[in-house]
Structure 1
C-alpha cells in the first residue's frame, strides 16, 4: 500500500534524492521543474558552432563523494554509463603564473555531460518539466500546488521544495501556512553569483592543463570540455568568473562578459579568440553562509525545504540534504 502522494518542486540532485527517499517508503512521487530538462547547475548545454556541435558543462565542473549514499549512487550511474572519472590535468595557478598540480582526488563527471547524472537519479520517476510553481494553498497533508499558466496539482500529503533561498522566500510569502522559520533561515543565507562563458577557440591550443583554478584576474576556473569522458568535437572551454567579479558585473550584458573573459584567457594563456562564445549567469551559484542543518520543516512536518544552500557548495551536500528531508517527511 502506498503511504500517500508526495510532490517535489525542483528536479536537481536535492529533489531527486528526496524523491528516492520518499519512494523507498512507498510514497507516490511526482516532481515539477521550471526548466526544460533535468540538471539545474549540473545542466549540459548543447550548441551548434561554426566548427561543429559541442556539449558544455557550464555549471558544476565535477563532483566528489565521501559518504556512502552518494558514492553508491555514483557507482550505479557509472554502471549505467552516465558517469565516469575525469582524469584530466588539473592545476592551480597563482597571480605570478606559477602552476602546481591540484591534490589528488576522485573527480566524477557525467557522460556525455553532467546532466546525465541527474537523469539517472530521476530514472523511473514522474518528472514534469516546464512547470513553474508560484505558490501552494491548502493545509498540512493536503497541499495544492499552483503554477503559472497551468492547472493546479494536488492534493499532496508531503511537499518538498528545493528552490534557491531568494525564490523560496517569494514562493512561501505567497503561500498558505506558517513558514516563518524557513523564511528566516533563507533570509540569513548568503550566495554568490557566477558568470560562466562557453567558448570555442578558432583553433586548438594546449595551455598545459585541462582544468585550472586561477588566482588573480576575472577568471577563477577554466576547463577543456574535450578532456572529459564521452566528450568529442572541436576544442571547447568553459570559463568561470570569480565571485567578486561576477557580483561587480552581475547586470552586465552577456556579450560583454563573454568578450572580457575570453580576452583574459587569451592574454594569460594564449587561448585563441573564439569563433563562438556565449555567457550564462548563475545568479545563485555558491552558498557562502548556510543554515548548517540539512533541511527546514514547517510546523506540521509535512512540508520542507532542501538544497546545497542548507549545508554548503558541494553536490554531495545537496544530495544529503534532499535525502535527509525525504526520510524525515516519510516517517
Structure 2
C-alpha cells in the first residue's frame, strides 16, 4: 500500500520504519523543519559558536524488549549514550536529543515544512490537504500527532477515535534555554521540583555536548498553564529568577537565552496502544495513547505498523 503518515516525531518514524520494512510505500509529512517532535534540539548562535539545547524531552528509558533492542542498536551506532545525572537508566541522543530521529528519518526522507490541515477520503483513496500537501491518493493514512491536533483531523472520519483524542489532554510547559559565560556555582547537573521549576539541567553534562555552560529550565505544568499566554521575555526573566533562588547563588552573565512554549509538552494517557480502523484504513499512534514517555511513542508506532502488516 501507499501510506501517508502525518507527523515525523518518534511515533510516526517508528511506524514508518516498520511499514517500510514490511514492503509498503511510506510517505511522512511534518510541519517542522526537521525530525524531532518533543525530542527537538534548539540551536542558538553566540560569540561565533553554535549552542545546542535539548529543550523538549530531556532523556528516555528503555524497558520494552523491542525498544531496548532498538536502543542498543542506536548505542552501537554512537547516536545515543548514557546520562547518569538523570539516573542509571537514562539515555540521551548524541550529540543532541534528536539524533535517533534524524537517523530514522534518513531512510524515510520525510517532507518537512508541510502543514497538513485535514484529510478526506474519495473513491481513489485518502487525500491530504494543507500547505505543501501532495495531490496524490493514499491507500491508508496514519495520524501521529499530539491528541489535541489529532482530534479535529479525525472527527469527520471516525467519531470514536476523535472522542478518545479529544478527552486525552496534555500538560503545557514553558522552557527557558540559557548559556552562561562561566559555570554555575552548583554541583548537581539536574534540579527537580523546586517551586515553579519542574526540571532544570546542565545540558552540557550530557555526552557529546559542547563545553559551553548551557542550562534548560522547564516550568512545572500548573505554573506553565497559568502563564501560558505570557510573553517569552517575561517567562525568561521569571524562570531564571526562580533558578537563582533554587541554587541560592547569583547566576553568571548570560551569553544567550531564549524561551519556548510547548502547548502539548507532556501527553496524557488514553489507555490504549494504538488505534486502527481497518475498514477505512486510518490509524493513530503516539505516546498519548500509552504514557508520556519516548519509549511509549516508539512502541505505539511499532504496534500500529504490526497491526497494518498483519492484515496486508
Q: Tell me the equivalent position of 1:95.
A: none
Q: Tell me the equivalent position of 2:225.
A: 247
Change (3 A) 1:188 1:141: farther
Partners of 1:141 and 1:158 within 8 A in 2:
no
Work out the number of aligned pairs and report it.
308
Q: Tell me the equivalent position of 1:96.
A: none
Match of 2:183 among 193, 200, 204: 204
Following TM superposition, by how much is the alpha carbon of 1:239 offset from its aligned partner in structure 2, in angstroms? Answer: 0.2
Please say which of residues 251-260 and 279-288 is displaced more in the overlay: 279-288
RMSD over equivalenced CA pairs, Å: 1.8
Change (3 A) 1:140 1:26: farther
Q: Tell me the equivalent position of 1:281.
A: 261
Structure 1 unaligned regions, length at least 5 = 91-103
Following TM superposition, by how much is the alpha carbon of 1:171 offset from its aligned partner in structure 2, in angstroms? Answer: 2.1
Q: Tell me the equivalent position of 1:109.
A: 92
Tell me, what secondary structure is at the counterpart of 2:303?
helix
Matches of 2:47 and 2:223, distance apart in 1: 29
Partners of 2:116 and 2:133 within 8 A in 1:
no
Matches of 2:135 and 2:297, distance apart in 1: 26
Q: Tell me the equivalent position of 2:129.
A: 146
Matches of 1:212 and 1:304, distance apart in 2: 39
Partners of 1:307 and 1:321 within 8 A in 2:
yes
Partners of 2:276 and 2:307 within 8 A in 1:
no
Following TM superposition, by how much is the alpha carbon of 1:234 offset from its aligned partner in structure 2, in angstroms? Answer: 1.4
Does structure 1 residue 158 correspond to structure 2 residue 136?
no
Change (3 A) 1:305 1:131: same
Matches of 2:294 and 2:185, distance apart in 1: 29
Partners of 1:54 and 1:233 within 8 A in 2:
no
Matches of 1:18 and 1:54, distance apart in 2: 31
Structure 2 unaligned regions, length at least 5 = none
Change (3 A) 1:257 1:29: same
Partners of 1:136 and 1:145 within 8 A in 2:
yes
Match of 2:304 among 310, 325, 331: 325
Does structure 1 residue 43 correspond to structure 2 residue 40?
yes
* Higher share in helix: 2
What does the per-residue CA deviation read over 1:150-192, in whole Å, with 9 as the maximum and x for residues that have no partner? 343431112110111221122234x5xx310111101211211
Runs of 4+ in 1 over 6 A off after TM superposition: none
Tell me, what secondary structure is at the counterpart of 1:276?
strand
Match of 1:30 among 27, 31, 37: 27
Change (3 A) 1:299 1:67: closer
Q: Equivalences for 1:100-139 in 2 at 5 Å?
A: 104-139=87-122
Q: Equivalences for 1:1-331 in 2 at 5 Å?
A: 4-50=1-47, 52-88=49-85, 90=86, 104-139=87-122, 142-148=125-131, 150-173=132-155, 178-215=157-194, 217-269=195-247, 270=249, 271-288=251-268, 290-298=269-277, 300-331=279-310
What does the per-residue CA deviation read over 1:198-234, in whole Å, with 9 as the maximum and x for residues that have no partner? 001232124121112124x111111111111110131
Q: Which TM-score applies when normalising by structure 1? A: 0.88
Following TM superposition, by how much is the alpha carbon of 1:11 offset from its aligned partner in structure 2, in angstroms? Answer: 0.6
Following TM superposition, by how much is the alpha carbon of 1:38 offset from its aligned partner in structure 2, in angstroms? Answer: 0.3
Partners of 2:176 and 2:216 within 8 A in 1:
yes
Tell me, what secondary structure is at the counterpart of 2:26?
strand
Tell me, what secondary structure is at the counterpart of 1:105?
coil
Tell me, what secondary structure is at the counterpart of 1:127?
coil
Matches of 1:122 and 1:275, distance apart in 2: 33
